[in-house]
Structure 1
Amino acid sequence: MSKAFLIAAPWSNSGKTTVTLSLCRWFSNQGLNVQPFKCGPDYIDTIHHSTAARKPAVNLDVVMMPEEHVIRTFNNYQQGTDISIIEGVMGLFDGAVKDQGSSAAIAKLLDIPVILVVNASSMAYTIAPILHGLKTFDPEVQIAGVLFNFVKTESHYAFLKEACDTVGIPSLGYIPPNEEIAIPSRHLGLHIDKTFETIIEKAASHITSNISVSKLLESAKEINKIAREKAQVKTPSKTKTIAIAKDEAFSFTYIENLKWLESIGRIVYFSPIHDSQLPETDYIYLAGGYPELYLEKLSQNVSMCNQIRNAANLGVTIYAECGGMMYLGKAIIDEKGLAHSMVNIFDYSTSMENKKLSLGYRKVLFEGLEIWGHEFHYSKILNDQTNSSIGKVFTARDKEISTKIYTYKNVYASYIHLYWAALKPKDICI
């Protein structure tokens, strides 16, 4: 049998990411096959999960994905593994609209028990009514245990454990604060170096030394462990080549999107930072990432900029999202106001000055096709004279917004990270 559980929290900043990374690494260190998942559209946590578990992490999202696709994806990736660990998003019942897309929604859909991580640094027996509310709010959500984070002493933990006993939820232990296991800021780049590895190893040791791993596993769901079946899907002969940007600046991709592309074409990777030559290709995919952290290198690679612009003028299909969209503009302006020239397919520039977060699910309607995605960026568009925008874009609450999908010949660019893996290839012109 394999095991599965979901790590959630009553509210954000409780430490569920650190706990998830720690458990992924600890179980992996024991020689177990660990499959990490992430609730919601986050593409940064999955990179960290993949490093910790030594296996690619997968997104599960009932807003961007049909429910049957979520179930199929989970079943496919968890088969043959020893432990599946799903990290939740925000608070347990926080979703795009009420609890839609929440950790609770995923737990219910997959019938997976929830392990709560609670920041109890300023909390004692008062946690009892909070746990009671979380337990009874939706009886279909099974809260199987609680881990109390940022608890310094046994005497403090005694109040918290009594609260669990009162409510009838198992307490799985407490985690003392430890500055050495703090995960670096999400906007410091994603270079996984020895420092990051050291943090994960220390976190794995620290957390598992202070909680009951055996009780946690007892609380997890048992799943029949069988070999993964190979998909029996007829795919077209892969005569087309798809070039995907992949380096320090462009790394935000959904693994199922990449597998979808692999099913219809031959994938080659290239680096807009390091490569001077664009591969011979029929399609180009410029994913999101952190181009603002590598502006000089991107701007100095004039050869790559010219080749991508020439490909666009020759009618090569190019799809760019968020950081990729920024790269296709005239320039990216850094936080100090200095402009760095880019590919110059579109006449806008993007700026990191006076950063302001734009965040949320997006529904795109275009020529009868509905496709969902997510918008997450701090930059803004300047000097936008481009009128060639297609489709309509809506929030999860069905409010139309001004986010554009820019077009030039066969180039499509937007701030939106689209999730197309649930679509059939015939639905997209590629």
Structure 2
Amino acid sequence: MSKAFLIAAPWSNSGKTTLTLGMSRWYSNQGNIVQTFKCGPDYIDTIHHSTAARRPAVNLDTVMMSEEHVKTVFERYSTSADISIIEGVMGLFDGAVKDQGSSAAIAKLLDIPVILVVNASAMAYTIAPILHGLKTFDPEVKIAGVIFNFVKTESHYAFLKEACDTVGVQSLGYIPPNEEIAIPSRHLGLHIDDTFENSIEKAASHIATHISLPTLLECTKVIPKIDKEAPAIITSKKKYKIAIAKDEAFTFTYLENLKWLEAIGELVYFSPIHDQELPEADMIYLAGGYPELYLEALSNNVLMKGRLKAAADHGTKILAECGGMMYLGNTIIDEEGKEYDMVGIFPFSTSMQNKKLSLGYRKVVYNELEIWGHEFHYSKMLNDDNIPVVGQVFSAREKEVTSKIYQHKNVYASYIHLYWAALEEAVDLCI
């Protein structure tokens, strides 16, 4: 049998990610096959998860995906694992619209118990009404236990445990603060080096020292374990050759998108930073990432930029998202105002100066196809007024937004990270 649970919190910055990474590594170190999932569209936490659990992590999202697709994906990966850990997003009931896409929505859909992690550094018995509200707000969301984070003393924990006893929620213990297990910033956290590995191992040890992780498994859901994967979502008679950018600068991909591409074609990977030759392909996929951290290397690789420009002019299908789109423009301007030449397929530039966050779910309507995605960036677009655009883009609240999908011949580029894995008809979009 396999065990499954979801780690959630009343609010952000409670330590969900650190707890998920530490638990995943500890259970893996005990010889278990650990499968991690991330609620929502985050493609950075899944990189961390994959490292900690030693197995690729998967997104579950009831905004970008149908409920049936979420169930299928969860079954596909969880039934071959010993332990499945889902990390929630933001607060337990925080969604795109009310609780749509929230951790609670995923827990209900999959009938998975919730383990709450609470930042209790500045809280005592007042946690009781908060826990009571979380427990009773939606009875279909099953809170199996709570872990108190950033608690320094046993005397402090005594107040918190009394609150749990009052409310009827099982307390699973407390974790003292430890600066050595802090996860690096969003940029630095992508560099999976010895320092990052040490942080995960220290998190595993620290958590296991204070929380009985074998006991925690008694709060989880038992699901049948199956040794074979569920059938693929899509099958295709025709095979394509698909070239995917993958290196330090381009890393933000959804695992199921790649699996979907595998079902319709042969995948080959290339590096816009290090390679000088572009693989022959029917379609080129440039996912998002952090090109702004590698501007000099990207700009200096003149041969690769020329190969991509020639492919676009020749009519090769190219799909570029966020960082990939920035790379296809004329230039990228760094925070200090220095300008770096890029591929030049599009005449726009993107700037990292005067950064402002653009964030949210996006629904793209294009040629009668509706496809969901997510936008998350700090850069801004310059000189894009006269570039052809296609489709319409809406927010999760069905309001049309200013995000654009740019087109040049068979090149389509936007800030939006699309999720096409649930749509068989998306073949026309990708190929």
One-letter code aligned to 1:203: A
Q: Name segments (4+ residues, structure 1) moved above 6 Å.
A: none
CA distance in 2, matches of 1:373, 1:348: 22
- 2:101 corresponding residue in structure 1: 101
- 2:408 corresponding residue in structure 1: 408
One-letter code aligned to 2:250: F
One-letter code aligned to 2:41: P
CA distance in 2, matches of 1:52, 1:426: 32
One-letter code aligned to 1:212: S
CA distance in 1, matches of 2:23, 2:264: 36
CA distance in 1, matches of 2:173, 2:159: 12
- 1:138 corresponding residue in structure 2: 138
Alignment of 1:39-118 (within 5 A): 39-118=39-118
- After superposition, the C-alpha distances for 1:74-112 in whole angstroms (9 at most, x for unaligned) are 011001210000000000000000000000000000000
CA distance in 2, matches of 1:284, 1:325: 12
Aligned length: 430
| Structure 1 residues 233 and 248: CA distance shift in structure 2, 3 A | closer
Alignment of 1:195-214 (within 5 A): 195-214=195-214
Say if 2:160 is the partner of 1:153. no
- 2:395 corresponding residue in structure 1: 395
| Structure 1 residues 361 and 220: CA distance shift in structure 2, 3 A | same
- C-alpha RMSD of matched pairs (Å): 1.2
One-letter code aligned to 2:319: Y
Q: Does the 8 Å CA contact 2:330/2:347 hold for their aligned counterparts?
A: yes
One-letter code aligned to 1:315: G
| Structure 1 residues 99 and 349: CA distance shift in structure 2, 3 A | same
Tell me the SS of whatever aligns to 2:412: strand
Tell me the SS of whatever aligns to 1:277: coil
Tell me the SS of whatever aligns to 1:400: coil
| Structure 1 residues 212 and 231: CA distance shift in structure 2, 3 A | same
* Residue 235 of structure 1, CA deviation: 3.4
CA distance in 2, matches of 1:229, 1:192: 28
| Structure 1 residues 152 and 234: CA distance shift in structure 2, 3 A | closer
* Residue 425 of structure 1, CA deviation: 4.4
Say if 2:221 is the partner of 1:221. yes
One-letter code aligned to 1:382: L
- 1:311 corresponding residue in structure 2: 311
* Residue 260 of structure 1, CA deviation: 0.5
CA distance in 2, matches of 1:321, 1:330: 16
- After superposition, the C-alpha distances for 1:168-211 in whole angstroms (9 at most, x for unaligned) are 00000000000000000012361100000000000000011101
Percent identity over the alignment is 75
Q: Does the 8 Å CA contact 1:189/1:293 hold for their aligned counterparts?
A: no
Alignment of 1:223-372 (within 5 A): 223-229=223-229, 231=231, 235-237=235-237, 239-372=239-372
Q: Does the 8 Å CA contact 1:36/1:53 hold for their aligned counterparts?
A: yes
Range with greater deviation from structure 2 (238-247 or 141-150)? 238-247
* Residue 233 of structure 1, CA deviation: 7.4
CA distance in 2, matches of 1:339, 1:426: 36
- After superposition, the C-alpha distances for 1:104-126 in whole angstroms (9 at most, x for unaligned) are 00000000000000000000000
CA distance in 1, matches of 2:189, 2:114: 31
| TM-score, normalised with respect to structure 2 | 0.98
Structure 2 runs not aligned, ≥5 long: none
Q: Does the 8 Å CA contact 2:189/2:196 hold for their aligned counterparts?
A: no
CA distance in 2, matches of 1:320, 1:287: 6
CA distance in 1, matches of 2:32, 2:67: 29
Range with greater deviation from structure 2 (212-221 or 337-346)? 212-221
| Structure 1 residues 189 and 383: CA distance shift in structure 2, 3 A | farther
CA distance in 2, matches of 1:304, 1:386: 26
